[in-house]
Amino acid sequence: MEPQLAALIRQSIADRYSLFAPEALADLPDTFTITDPCISGHPIVFASRAFLKMTGYSTHEVLGRNARLFQGPRTSRSSVMEIREAIREERAVEVSIVNYRKDGTPFWMLFRMSPVFGKEDGRVVHFVGVQVPILGRRRRSGVSSCDGDRVSECVFGGSCRREVCSDSLVELGGRVLDLDSADSQGLEIEGPCEANDLEKRIAATAVSNILSVLSHYSESTGRLVCGNRCNLPGPGLLTSSLNISLGRIKQSFVLMDPYLPDVPIVYASDAFLKLTGYSRHEVLGRTWIFLSGPDSDPSVLHQVSPFRLYSFFSSFDLVMMTSKDSSSFWNLLHISPIRNATGKIAYLVGVQNEELCKNQDRQGRTPEMWQLSVVGAVKVAVRSSSMVACSSK
């Protein structure tokens, strides 16, 4: 793992819940992970002992990785979609899903995920994911991915839960031929599987235990958390789904909020921080003019000032920027307005391209085309992540 990522992961838990929290969490008997949507790649920042034992991984193999590490060919894609959607909508979800251990053996588990909200600003700071292994195999008439509270609505749901597996091979009027044998452990992985009430209760209890530990330790840092959204996210705050989507874009860029005074930076990519040497909290909330170096052409800077930003759109200009260690560098800057799902301008994106001469890694594409691809990726991320069902807003 890169040192920067390792540091971010340590801080993710310690800054919010104090240095003592990992120990307290480790003492819990539950199998769970905690992920941080604000770190690029939405990585695991904590994994419980029981979880490591169940999956066969060590801590350092799991921290910093995305939970898709545990998915494999037999993981139902529609269940993965459901989890993705819950993350996008910042809500809890419960789904039965096939995961894989380190040795490659698949197993069924009940996955229950719940967001953790920061009390002060209503932002999602973490997701807690509890994994309860499903013991014994229960079929649901061949219908997959109707889970949790949806089971009762499912046409086939519930009615034949205890159906014997061998019967299901001849369901659908004998048309089905199941060529796949059960896996090495004798647990059948094919087809759907439903957790029983006990397993569901275990998962629910675990989530509430973990949340109460987190909430307890958050008091010691003064940065309180809770399991339910207490506040709507304030202005200038990004949803976790937008953070996750933007985290996938590896180039250097910032998002600015044109509706706040001085058009402050509300998101800065990892590459931007690397380029300038600043840490995220030193950049967020500030107008990016502070980065411009003494040698910048004042007329260009004037255009970039908040009053003139709109006339600056869609052009490429050379500006001088200064990094934290006071070194200056030329930068090709491109600014574009970014609209959200309502079709209104929500942000400005500023895409940097450090110097023009470093063409070697661009595989034959001009710096301008690279910058435009960032604009495109940001447009997709912002538009899509602001499309939330109207009822939940």
Partner 1 sequence: MMLKIKRVPTVVSNFQKEEGEEAARRGGGCGRNCLRSCCIQGAKLPLYAFKRVDKAVNEKGVLQHETTQPPVAFLDSLLLGEWEDRVQRGLFRYDVTACETKVIPGRYGFIAQLNEGRHLKKRPTEFRVDKVLQPFDGNKFNFTKVGQEEVLFQFEASENGEVQFFPDAPVDVENSPSMVAINVSPIEYGHVLLIPRILECLPQRIDRESFLLALDMAVEAGNPYFRLGYNSLGAFATINHLHFQAYYLAVPFPIEKAPTKKITTLDVGVQISELVNYPVRGLVFEGGNSLRDLSDTVSDACICLQNNNIPYNVLIADCGKRIFLLPQCYAEKQALGEVRPELLDTQVNPAVWEISGHMVLKRKKDYEEASEENAWSLLAEVSLSEERFQEVNALIFEAISYNADASGDEAENLLQDADVKPKTHEGVDAINQRSCPTMVTGNQECLVQQ
175 forms part of the interface with partner 1 (CB under 8 A): yes
Neighbours of 349 (CB within 10 A): 24
| Sites for partner 1 among residues 81-110 (CB under 8 A) | 81-82, 84-85, 88, 100, 104
Q: Could you tell me which stretch among 75-83, 195-203, 229-237, 301-309 binds partner 1 (CB under 8 A)?
A: 75-83
Distant-in-sequence, close-in-space partners of 181: CB < 8 Å, separation ≥ 6: none
- Structure tokens belonging to residue 51: 């979880």
150 forms part of the interface with partner 1 (CB under 8 A): yes
357 forms part of the interface with partner 1 (CB under 8 A): no
Q: Could you tell me which stretch among 116-124, 199-207, 229-237, 365-373 binds partner 1 (CB under 8 A)?
A: 365-373
| Sites for partner 1 among residues 251-310 (CB under 8 A) | none
For 156, phi and psi rounded to 5 degrees?
-90, -10
138 forms part of the interface with partner 1 (CB under 8 A): no
179 forms part of the interface with partner 1 (CB under 8 A): yes
Q: Which residues pair with 351 in a beta bridge?
A: 253, 334
Tokens 């604009």, residue located? 375
Whole-number minimum distance, CB 153 to partner 1, in Å?
7
156 forms part of the interface with partner 1 (CB under 8 A): yes
Size of the site for partner 1 (CB under 8 A): 73
| Sites for partner 1 among residues 18-47 (CB under 8 A) | 41
Whole-number minimum distance, CB 390 to partner 1, in Å?
6
CA distance to 249, 254, 295, 315, 365, per residue, from 358 (Å): 19, 21, 21, 20, 11
| Sites for partner 1 among residues 180-219 (CB under 8 A) | 180, 190-191
Rounded to whole angstroms, how far apart are CA atoms 206 and 208?
5
Q: Of 12, 36, 51, 65, which lies in the binding site for partner 1, with binding defined by CB under 8 A? A: 65
The sheet with strand 316-322 has its strands ordered as 265-268, 253-256, 345-351, 328-339, 316-322
